[in-house]
Amino acid sequence: MPAMNPGHEETKESEDVALVRRAKSGDTTAFEELFRRHRSQIYSLTYRMTGNSADAEDLLQDVFLTAFRKIGSFQGRSSFSTWLYRVGINRSKDFLRKKKRAAELQTPDDQHGEASLEESSRHAGAAERSSQPEAGAIAGEAQRLVQEALDRLPEGLRVPLVLHELEGLQYREVARLMRLPVGTVKSRIFRARLQLAEILEPHKEQWIK
């Protein structure tokens, strides 16, 4: 998300304020407009956190449903965009934990059992229903390698890296979102970049000639 000029940002925020006010009073069309305005931002986050379009789309839906249910509690202590990002990060973390837990519970025998069949058919169904298959969303071997490397980072490092390096949020915004000191955010991004490079080292010719 590139940095916008301050005037444009203020206009967008004030438009969001008006839509949120209407959504809080029960105007579902206002909420639908909020979805249209912020879907790309949140989809980018959920894709970077999950690594595939099927999970990213499910998570995107989950984030906005959560936001709708909680919109009564949004008090304007931050911008709507920041608040929505926070919902997105929390739901992404929940998703990753569930996925990790499911993987831990799977025994080798289960890999050919019901759980994996459900997983496979879900992804197959998702691939069918997704109008933009993987290649449309992120193309190229290099980008696939980067996403796989991101998938391998622990969430505590992945989140600030994604937010700052890929979503374009500045350190202070990441610090606020994650409720961490700016210094901690910087050091996590530093460590995340080192780990990412170690994972990508065998393929570095993709980027360094």
Partner 1 sequence: MSCRGAKKSLLDYADGRLPEKEREAVRLHLESCPSCEAAAEKLELSASALSSTRPPELGDAASERILANIGREVRPEGSRAGWWRSQRVLAAGAAVAAVLVAVVVVVGVEISRNTGETERSTTGAAEDQASQSAFKSVLPESAPSVPAATATGQNSGSAAPLASVAMPLPAVKASSTDYDQASLRSMVESLPARKQYADAYTMSDAAVLSGTYARKAADDFAHLGQSGPELEAMISYVTASEPVLLTCYVESALFGGRPVWVIGLAAPPRSGSSVKLSRTEVWVLDPARFTSDPDSSIVFFLEYK
Between residue 80 and residue 139, which ones bind partner 1 under the rule CB under 8 A? 81-82, 129-132, 136-139
- Amino acid, res. 13: E
Least CB distance to partner 1 at residue 117 (A): 24
Q: Which is nearer to partner 1, 112 or 209 (CB)?
A: 209
Q: Which is nearer to partner 1, 69 or 110 (CB)?
A: 69
Q: Which of residues 25-44 bind partner 1 (CB under 8 A)?
A: 25-26, 28, 31-32, 35-36, 39-40, 43-44
d(C-alpha 64, C-alpha 45), whole Å: 13
Least CB distance to partner 1 at residue 18 (A): 13
Least CB distance to partner 1 at residue 164 (A): 9
Contact pick of 47, 55, 84, 89 for partner 1 (by CB under 8 A)? 47
Q: Which of residues 163-192 bind partner 1 (CB under 8 A)?
A: 165-166, 170-173, 175-176, 179, 181-183, 186, 189-190
DSSP string, 126-167: HHHH-SS-HHHHS-SHHHHHHHHHHHHS-HHHHHHHIIIIIS
Q: Which is nearer to partner 1, 6 or 108 (CB)?
A: 6
Q: Which is nearer to partner 1, 106 or 203 (CB)?
A: 203
Q: Under the criterion CB under 8 A, does residue 154 sit at the interface with partner 1?
A: no
- Amino acid, res. 166: L
Reported as half-sphere exposure (CB side, CA atoms, 13 A), residue 202 has a value of 3
71 in Cβ contact with 24 (< 8 Å): yes
Measured CA to CA in angstroms, residue 158 lies from 74, 133, 134, 193, 203 at distances of 26, 24, 21, 9, 20
Contact pick of 38, 49, 55, 64 for partner 1 (by CB under 8 A)? 64
d(C-alpha 117, C-alpha 48), whole Å: 25
